[in-house]
Chain A
Amino acid sequence: MAIKLVRIDFRLIHGQVITKWVRTVGANLILIVNDDLFNDKFMFDIYKMSAPTGIKVDVMTKDAFADAWKTNQFESDNVMILLKSVKDAYYLYKQDVVFDELQIGGLGGGPGRKVVFGPITLDKTDVEQLDEISNSNTKVYFHQVPEDPSADYQKIIIKHNF
């Protein structure tokens, strides 16, 4: 499966993704895995037109993605997968979708959320779920934009008390 990048980003397709990541990883398909967006054609059309020219955009529900993953349906494309939350990544993990790498690129502020790396925040539940994911065979790391440094999940978590 030619998965170039799996990124958790609460803004889904936006400035950092369209100007930097798509080109950096050489993706020709941005696949958004999000149940709400799957049911909101108007919003999906907005994200779809936001992508750079020549880049395909598709949306799938979490369950449909887990099925597609098991039957290896992404071979012909270089795919960049976007997830909106840690919760969604964890749901997939529980469906036996184990990515080689999981990039945490953007998670915003809110009650109970702590800034851990750049403007990226986590809460207690995120940490519990990411701990489990990173203890499997997935390399979890923080990385906002390609030019900025990335950081290993475990190293960052040690610095913060959750």
Chain B
Amino acid sequence: MFKKILIGTHGYFGEELLKSAEMIIGKIENVSVFSLAPTMSFEEYKKSVEDNLIQTNKYLCLVDLFGGTPCSTFLSLSRDYDLCVLTGLNLPLVIEAISMLENLNSEDLVDHLLEVYKESGKNATKILSEGR
């Protein structure tokens, strides 16, 4: 099971996203957010994350952009820590990850979240017009 969720984003997207999630599911625990400021180097950002990691814990890392600095940073830390990195962070994903964190083992949670991704992008206008 994942012990904690780590969110990493360009700028303060992650912090605001967490506030948005709290509007929907209430007070959130077990989540840490790491915002990459424009002048922050890869090394500085990495240190800000690593200072909060414990080797015996397993972490679920949700980042915004595949190939971006938050993504590369978490991947680089997976050399020394038990991390699983998922990209394409969005609100449905955060809500689901937090809600199911203590209910599913890590492998099942990741599979479940990948399904949530697919389900979160819909043409709502088309669905409405088709009368569903």
Contacts and interface: CB of A to CB of B under 8 A. Distances in A.
Interface of A: 10-15, 18-19, 42-43, 46-47, 49-52, 108-110, 115, 118-119, 121
Interface string B42-70: 10100000000000000000000111110
B44 A108 contact: yes
Interface residues of B, number: 17
A14 B41 contact: no
Contacts, number: 49
A109 B71 contact: no
A15 B10 contact: yes
Contacts of B65: 15, 19
B61 to A, nearest CB: 13
A12 B69 CA distance: 9
Interface stretch (B22-30, B72-80, B109-117): B72-80
A18 B42 contact: no
B67 A15 contact: yes
B38 interface: yes
